[in-house]
Amino acid sequence: MYKMFLNFILYMFGTFLFLFLLWKRLKDDYSVNQVFGLGFYILLTLFVFGKVSKIFFPAYWFWFGVLGVIIVTLISIWKNKMMMIETVEAVGIALFPMTSFIFLIDAITKSSFVSLGAFFVIFFLLLLFGYFEKNYRKYSWYKSGRVGFSGIVVMGIFFLVRALVSLFGIDVISFFPVYESYISCSFALIFFLVIFRLSRKIF
């Protein structure tokens, strides 16, 4: 019973943090309806894709969720004429707390030190995001000074860590069987290339 209660509390808290962070990052540029509409569809998609994954592909739940978030975010960007970089950054950072709680639940219910480590990694990345957010405009090499740097860098680091951990053969509940290192490394590379282009004022 306590496990169900714990799951409910953490998932509700994660949902609240997701919506709050998404609103906080996008509130200056978009209406409340646009922001919370995006948030609602992401949560709905995560629920549906999660159920499908649990039934047919239980080992792929994380990447099913990533696929769903990408689809919904791109549709919202196109439909509402939202800015690509800022929106992707906001969605990614807003999802970090919810993701960390999934690892925390697994760490508590299954006594998994690996999941506990994953929780603390994401917690550290959120602290790193806060640091970058305060200081990124001071970096001389980041000439554009454009918003989005902090979240894109942190997401790049997140996927790079996943790739490195996978190479060491450590089994984490969200890893894609066999090809995790390749997929995560590809995502990390994409995010770092985006930062390079942002720094060059190409976007």
What pLDDT score was predicted for residue 54? 85
| CA angle at 63 for the pair 132 and 48, rounded to the nearest 5° | 110
**Helix, coil or strand: residue 53:** helix
Residue with tokens 């950072």, as numbered in its chain: 93
Whether 199 shows a pLDDT value over 60: the answer reads yes
* Cα–Cα dist 201/203, whole Å: 6
What pLDDT score was predicted for residue 202? 47
> How many of the other CB atoms lie within 10 Å of CB of 41?
17
Report domain extents, the chain: 2-199
Structure tokens at 175: 């890893």
Q: Are 125 and 154 in contact (CB under 8 A)?
A: yes
Contacts of 171 (CB under 8 A, 6+ apart): 114
Residue % of the chain over a pLDDT of 70: 95
What pLDDT score was predicted for residue 110? 86
What pLDDT score was predicted for residue 197? 83
Which position has the higher pLDDT, 43 or 137? 43
pTM of the model: 0.91
Which position has the higher pLDDT, 144 or 169? 169
Q: Which of 55, 172, 190, 203 is nearest to 110 (CA)?
A: 172
Residue 1: band (very low, low, confident or very high) from pLDDT cuts 50, 70, 90: low
Q: Are 168 and 154 in contact (CB under 8 A)?
A: no
What pLDDT score was predicted for residue 42? 96
Q: Are 181 and 163 in contact (CB under 8 A)?
A: yes
pLDDT (mean) for 83-108: 93
Residue % of the chain over a pLDDT of 90: 62
What pLDDT score was predicted for residue 7? 78
Residue 76: band (very low, low, confident or very high) from pLDDT cuts 50, 70, 90: very high
Per-residue pLDDT of 51-75, as tens digits, reads 898 888 888 899 999 999 999 999 9
